Structure 1
Amino acid sequence: MRAQSKELQTAIRAAHAAGAITLEKFGELSHPEIQVKEFKDFVTDVDKACEAAISSIITENFPEDSMLCEEGTIITGTSGRTWIVDPLDGTLNFIHSFPVFSISIALKGSDDELLTAVVYQPVLKELFTAERGQGAYLNGKKITISSRTDKESFLIGTGMPFKEYHYLESYIGMLKEVIHDSAGIRRAGSAALDLAYTACGRFDGFWEYKLFPWDFAAGVLLVREAGGTITDFSGDPDVFLKQSIIAGNNITHPLLLEKALKHFT
């Protein structure tokens, strides 16, 4: 593994700090610590504590950078660079003591290119990292996307609509076709982890309609640095425009894109 930049070192330190906070409360969250943000969308005191820890570490080291965080921390800097943070991706899992959640931190450059990515799964102590042009890594070991080409062996990740029902029929239509063209589907509940798992070949592909930048920014760089392809549902590589994701290798990405073009407009 190459020498890490200050940006990556800082993101790793911030992710570990947030991870420690999650482990202190995992399985012991009380009802007053859980609040409803909006319909079927929750936030906890742990989300907020993680965000505070991450933003503090990053702003201490890069005071001129901007920040965009899920739980409302927005800092407008002068550098043109933006840190995009999900302090606890998979909050509902966390609330239910389901051990699938992550911390996601990405840095977007002044040229709108993703520069740095960290996705940390604290329960398993799995740290996924990437820097532009430097490859992707899991706990310091280089990772690559799946090389599987037989659709009957594909394991595909997805995220199901749970708040917006107007595209449910389109999703179900696509899901039916993917079920026929794969060995199995998984819906883990953390898009950041889904993309990290695609980057390291655990998933052969992933798709989800309508995510937020903090859900996918770090995962996008991980997949691309691992040799994968990511676009939106129309095939556009600028996923920040429409915020829908298709990720995979040179077989699974075209397969999922074809189905998305058929069922979504």
Structure 2
Amino acid sequence: MSRELETAINAAKEAGSIAVQTFGKLDLTKIHPKDYKDFVTEVDNACEERIASAITSAFPDDSMLCEEGSTANGTSGRKWIVDPLDGTLNFIHSFPVFSISIALCDSHNDLVTGVVYQPVLDELFTAEKGKGACLNGNPIHVSTRNDPEHFLIATGIPFKEYHYLESYVSMLKDVIHDSAGIRRAGSAAIDLAYTACGRFDAFWEYKLFPWDYSAGVLLVREAGGIVTSFSGNSDVSAHHSIVAGSPVTHPLILEKAKKYFQEHL
């Protein structure tokens, strides 16, 4: 295990411990509006502070991008991308689906380390570039299902921006016809981690940010899957859309994304 991965794991588990201690007991005064239909809690901030401190202590020359605003401008060319609590609305409502997501990009902007930790289940998803992906230390692989009647597909439903709602609903109807079921967990990091280990056969969502998907993208790719934007571009950082799946499911979902989101690409 690299020092980078070890640092990310320890930071994620420390943040997870903070979240679990407060889960189900969050005082309403600890919740603050951040944007339209978007919230931040004092737990988000505490988790981010713990992660940022651990990373900057271990790698003071690295840069950092965190959802809640913590930054570091290092000189190494490397950048850590952090979502201290992905699924904040779930957390606020005591819905036990949330995660901590930590990723590292090298000086070429390639994802090289990824950790997604789901503290309620104590499930730790890890990946390093070229070394595969694991769940609690055991290798994982994307789904091998090939019959659409058996596919379980994950997605993210638009909740703030509605200009693409009709496109989304049209695509959703199409995916429903070509799958056994749809799930919306409320944490893109978990959706991607579950796609990496084959629980979900594919995942798609429009309007995501780097902290939402970076660790999960590496997980899926290292687990043998494919991740692109809705246009089919492998550089998802240049877009705000994700299609992730196996070599079987990714092309099927991508085809539908191109069909229904053509005007948004």
The reply to whether TM is greater than 0.5 is yes
State the secondary structure of the residue aligned to 1:189: coil
CA distance in 1, matches of 2:27, 2:109: 40
Which of 138, 141, 144 lines up with 1:141 in the alignment? 138
1:91-170 map, 5 Å: 91-170=88-167
- Structure-2 residue corresponding to 1:260: 257
Pick from 25, 32, 35 the counterpart of residue 35 of structure 1. Answer: 32
| 3-state SS, counterpart of residue 134 of structure 2 | strand
Of 44, 48, 51, 2:48 maps to 51
Give the secondary structure class of the aligned counterpart of 1:42.
strand
SS class of match (1:119): strand
TM-score, normalised on structure 1? 0.98
The superposition leaves residues 42-67 of structure 1 with CA deviations (integer Å, 9 ceiling, x where unpaired) of 00000000000000000000000000
The one-letter amino acid paired with 1:18 is: A
How far does residue 243 in structure 1 lie from its aligned partner after superposition? Answer: 2.1
Q: Which string of whole-angstrom CA distances, capped at 9 and with x for unpartnered residues, describes residues 20-46 of structure 1?
A: 000110000011100000100000000
1:90 aligns with 2:49: no
Pairwise CA distance, 1:99: 0.1
TM-score (norm 2): 0.98
Which of 4, 7, 10 lines up with 1:13 in the alignment?
10
What SS is found at the alignment partner of 1:188?
coil
- Partner of residue 194, structure 1: 191
Question: How far, CA to CA, are the matches of 1:216 and 1:228 in structure 2?
Answer: 14
CA RMSD in angstroms, aligned pairs only = 0.4
- 1:116-144 Cα offsets, whole Å, 9 max, x none, are 00000000000000000000000000000
Percent of pairs with identical residues: 70
Q: Secondary structure of the equivalent of 1:117?
A: strand
* Counterpart code for 2:218: L
Matches within 5 A, 1:225-236: 225-236=222-233
Q: Distance in 2 between matches of 1:37 and 1:130?
A: 31
Out of 173, 178, 181, the position equivalent to 2:175 is 178
Q: How many pairs does the alignment contain? A: 262
Q: Distance in 2 between matches of 1:226 and 1:209?
A: 22
Q: Which structure 2 residue ranges, 5 or more long, are not aligned?
A: none
Give 1:149's aligned amino acid.
Answer: N
Give 1:69's aligned residue: 66
- Separation in structure 1 between the aligned mates of residue 124 and residue 108 of structure 2, nearest angstrom: 26
Which secondary structure does the structure 2 equivalent of 1:223 belong to?
helix
2:221 to 224, 229, 232: 224
Distance 2:211 2:35 in 1: 17
SS in structure 1 of the partner of residue 174 of structure 2: helix
- After TM superposition, the runs of 4+ consecutive aligned structure 1 residues lying more than 4 A away are none
Q: Deviations for 1:167-188, whole angstroms, at most 9, x for unmatched residues?
A: 0000000000000000000000
AA aligned opposite 2:16: G
